Amino acid sequence: MPEKLVVGNWKMNPPSVADAVALGRDVAAHGQTGVAVGVAPPAIALAAVADALRGTAVAVYAQDLHWAERGAFTAQIAAAMLVDLAAGSIVGHSEVRRDQCDDDARVAKKLARAVEAGLRPILCVGESAAQHAAGEATAVVARQIAADLAEARHASLDRLVIAYEPVWAIGTGTPATGEHASAAARAIRAALKRAGLDGERVPILYGGSVSARSVGEFANADGIDGALVGGASLDADEFGAIVRAFA
Ligand code: 13P
């Protein structure tokens, strides 16, 4: 059985570093449930939140990283800068693919850099609204998995996490169904196997409008091991309820 894991992706929230530290402390105050918990603060708050959460059970993740080791990459963050602060990093989030023009080739390089540096990658895949309407979800995620893993050495992927995040479900208040998420998880595990990995051991998180109200659908879905939570992770009590649903 893969490990259970719930991670809050705070995106470009909350408004200040002090608010981020306070939110991190509130998340940690919920205590342990047997489910691994992480938070991904914005880069500017990463060091302060990492400091505040040191010694707690809550792991800190970055939201993105650059693929290069160092150099002339204005505004970017290298894996080596993250290793002392973060357990891992989200890679390939659809908002980064959309706003920073990340394609699968760049995502593959970022994933390889993350694992080489010892960061646990949470690789995001998922179909767009148009692909969903065309019934292409499972084909799209299989294609993304193959392309996004192309640069990483297999031996370094033993702590890989996949987040299945259908783009049409993110921030819309309309999550996928558990059945849809399970079908995607099956396609992801088959693609991991084709890539030479033991897909049965890789945790697959669902992300897209997960709330305390909708989480039961995913906590009970076959093949789903946790959640990557956006908006609802900004409320520590609601996030705590989502974590407990997977316990
Ligand atoms: P929401 O939970 O706000 O839909 O965001 C999901 C997400 O993108 C997490 O990475």
pLDDT in tens, 185-233: 999 999 999 999 999 999 999 999 999 999 999 999 999 999 999 999 9
* Confidence band of 134 (pLDDT split at 50, 70, 90): very high
CA–centroid distance, 31 to ligand 1, in Å, is: 23
How much distance in Å is there from the Cα of 93 to the middle of ligand 1?
A: 10
Distance CA 226, CA 229 (A): 9
Residue 32, pLDDT score: 85
- Domain assignment present for residue 207? The answer is no
pLDDT score, position 235: 98
pTM of the model: 0.98
Give the mean model confidence (pLDDT) for residues 62-74.
98
Residue 9 scores a pLDDT above 80 = yes
| The pLDDT of residue 155 is above 80 | no
Ligand 1: nearest atom to the Cα of 211: 2
- Percentage of the chain surpassing pLDDT 90? 97
Cα separation, 200 vs 208, in Å, equals 23
In a domain, 155, yes or no: yes
In a domain, 223, yes or no: no
Ligand 1 in reach of 199 Cβ (< 6 A): no
Which residue, judged by its Cα, is nearest atom 5 of ligand 1?
230
Q: Which of 127-131, 149-153, 155-159, 239-243 is predicted with the least confidence, judged by mean pLDDT?
A: 155-159
Residue 135, domain CATH: 3.20.20.70
Residue 19: exposure state from Cβ atoms within 10 A (0-12, 13-18, ≥19): middle
Q: Is 165 a catalytic residue?
A: yes
pLDDT confidence of 153, banded at 50, 70, 90? confident
93 is catalytic: yes
Nearest to 28 by CA among 52, 58, 60: 58
Q: What percent of the chain clears pLDDT 70, i.e. is strictly above it?
A: 100
Q: What is the span of the domain harbouring residue 165? A: 1-32+61-171+186-201
Of 103, 133, 109, 137, residue with least CA distance to 121: 109
Q: Is the CB of 229 under 6 A from ligand 1?
A: yes
Distance 10 CA to ligand 1 centre (A): 9
Alpha helices in the chain (DSSP H): 17-28, 46-53, 79-82, 94-99, 104-116, 129-133, 137-148, 178-194, 215-219, 236-245
Q: Are 204 and 225 in contact (CB under 8 A)?
A: yes
Q: Is the CB of 233 under 6 A from ligand 1?
A: no
**In whole angstroms, what is the distance from residue 5 CA to residue 10 CA?**
16
Quote the number of domains for the chain. 1
11, part of any domain: yes
